[in-house]
Every structure is written in C-alpha cells, then in structure tokens.
Amino acid sequence: MIYNKLGGTDIEVSRVCLGTMTWGRQNTEAEGHAQMDYALSQGVHFFDTAEMYAVPPTPETYGKTETIIGTWFQKTGNRDKIVLASKIVGPGIGWIREGKSLIDRKNIALALEASLKRLQTDYIDLYQLHWPNRGSYHFGQSWAYMPKFDPKAAEANFIEVLETLGEFVRAGKIRAVGLSNETAWGTMKWLQLSAQHSLPRMASIQNEYSLVCRMFEPDLQEISLHEDIGLLAWSPLGGGMISGKYLGGARPAGTRWSLDERKLFRDTPEAEEAVKAYMGIAAKYGLDVCQMALAFVNAQPFVCANIIGATSMEQLKSNIASINLKLPADVLADIEAVRRRYPQVF
C-alpha cells in the first residue's frame, strides 16, 4: 500500500480509501464488517462514510452505514487503527433535520454528535462538508449549474462554519476538516478565510474524478497541488459504469442503477461510447478495465486518496489490488486520445 499525508496535517492515509456507502442497502452489516476486515488486512486504513449513507439515500437507510462501522469498531476494537472520515449533508434532503440542513453552527453540532453516537467513537479524523450550501455542479448538474448567491453572506457563513469546526477540533471531537463537491472559488475562499482568521484549514477536497469525469482539471488540480489540499476522488469507476455492466441499458439485479429511483445522470449516449472506448483500450493491452481506471486515478499527483467501493469481496479484492498496477505510456496515450474525443460525457 502507498500512504500520503492528508493535506498539511500529520495524518497519514492509505492511497486506497474504503468507500462504505453501499452498507445498509446493497450490503448487509456482516458484509460491511467483512469488507473492513479485508481492507485493513491489505493496509487500507482510511475509511470514508457520511451521515446520509446508505446510497441510494432513503429515510429508512439514513445513518445505517455509520451504524455498521460503529458495530465493527465495538466488535473488533480497531478504532485506533483507522483514519475515519465522515460528512455532514448540505441542504436539500427533506428527511434530514426536517429539511433544514443548512451547514451552520446548529446543524454541525447536531450532525456531528449523532454521527459520533452511531459510529461508537469519541472523534472523527476527517469531518467534511458533503456539498456547499450554495449548491454544486456535481451530481449531474454540470450543464445547468449557475452560481446564484450573495458572496458576502456566503463568506459570513464560511466563517461561522470554520469557527464551529474549530471548537470541535479543540474539544478533540474532530482532528481535521475537509470539503466535498466544492468549486475552485469556494475552495480558495475557505483557505483564504482560515488564514485570515486563524481558523482550521481545509485539508482535503472530495470531488468526483474518473476517466469519465475530469472536471477537477485544470483549475482545482492547480489549487490542490499548490495549496496542499489533496483530492479524495469519489466514484473513480463512474458509479460503476466503467465496468461496462450498464451498457445497452442493462440493469443487473442488485446493482445501484437498478435500485436508484433518481435521475441516472451518467446514463448518456456519450458516456456509453466513452466507456466502450476505455474498455477497448483495456482489451488491447490485456488489462482489467476497472483496474486500469483505478490505476489512472491512483497515478495523478493531486490525488491524496482514491475512494473505492464494492458490493462483493471479488470486486473489493480487485479494486484494492489496482494499487500495484502502473500504466505504461502507450496506455496513457490511448486514454488521452479517448478523453479528447469525449471530454465531458454527463
């Protein structure tokens, strides 16, 4: 396993991070526990979760993933071996705090204490803002996102959030803080205000990044490298589509796309053609397409950790093993050629 420092902190994290959002919906508690056991045995000690999980989100599954992690901590006594990341939701989900989930002082306190209880721990190593109060161009909004907010009001909220997070850092309930689904403007504003007011500095940014989603380049890539705020890449397999299992409208039973009642924003003709092209590259060089895609993400200098997820042990083992794959120059050149044909597919 490869390990990196989390931003400017002294926290060391595994380059492969175990994503957990299927536990409590697609995976049982026992399966979640087995995944954590195996991941840790392979040197993966960085786990990522969120109060909202399991996904696809429902009122019935809210908080279940954190609960499963908590029972594993209680059963194994392994809390001190894990770097644990969780998140507070942004506004827009009606069943969480009665739909009044603006990220502010009140909601941070409520969300953090509830997460700690479910996780059966006294602290969270990395506490992240799941998406901005302003909205996000992620989750299929890249074509429609238009910033419409008062920057002065946003700045005041940023300071309130940083002050609140700082109080929990001093109380020992949070070790580091991070962003998720944030923009270049937002990221730089968080960093600017933390410096100006001597408040906690964002250590990481968790945004979508994969062969079929490279919006992190070039602006956020530059910020990540030069401001020491590493990317935690989510959906490095494009929500599973890079495997090819959804080609031609297929919806295998038990998969996320078969369960998700929300708009499948990645399901576009352009995305399908891009996936076919990447599968063609993998076949040409005798590679597993998922391992190729994960190895591409692992190799990026701005990536601090690659958040993998799996519903089966076979998938998990293959995904973790991708850390050992180094892509030759010819493969990278072919990947770049496909990227130029399909620069933005959803």
Q: Any idea which residue has 């409520």 for tokens?
A: 110
Annotated catalytic residue 53:
yes
Q: Which two tokens stand for residue 12?
A: 């060391």
Q: Any idea which residue has 């890539």 for tokens?
A: 221
Write the single-letter amino acid at 32. G
Q: Which two tokens stand for residue 50?
A: 């969120």
126, 169 Cβ separation under 8 angstroms: no
Task: Please give the Cα distance from 207 to 133 (Å, whole number).
Answer: 15
The dihedral of CA 171, 173, 175, 180: what is its sign?
negative
Contacting residues for 48 by C-beta, under 8 A, at least 6 apart = 17, 18, 19, 20, 85, 86, 206, 232, 234, 307
Q: Which two tokens stand for residue 194?
A: 């933390």
The 10 Å Cβ neighbour count of residue 146 is 7
208, 215 Cβ separation under 8 angstroms: yes
DSSP string, 115-137: HHHHHT-S-EEEEEESS-TT--S
Task: Note the helical H segments in the chain.
Answer: 29-41, 64-76, 105-119, 151-170, 184-197, 219-227, 256-259, 269-284, 289-298, 313-321, 329-341
Task: Please give the Cα distance from 291 to 26 (Å, whole number).
Answer: 22
Task: Please give the Cα distance from 98 to 270 (Å, whole number).
Answer: 38
Please pick, among 3, 38, 53, 246, the residue that the annotation labels catalytic: 53
Q: Which residues are known to be catalytic?
A: 53
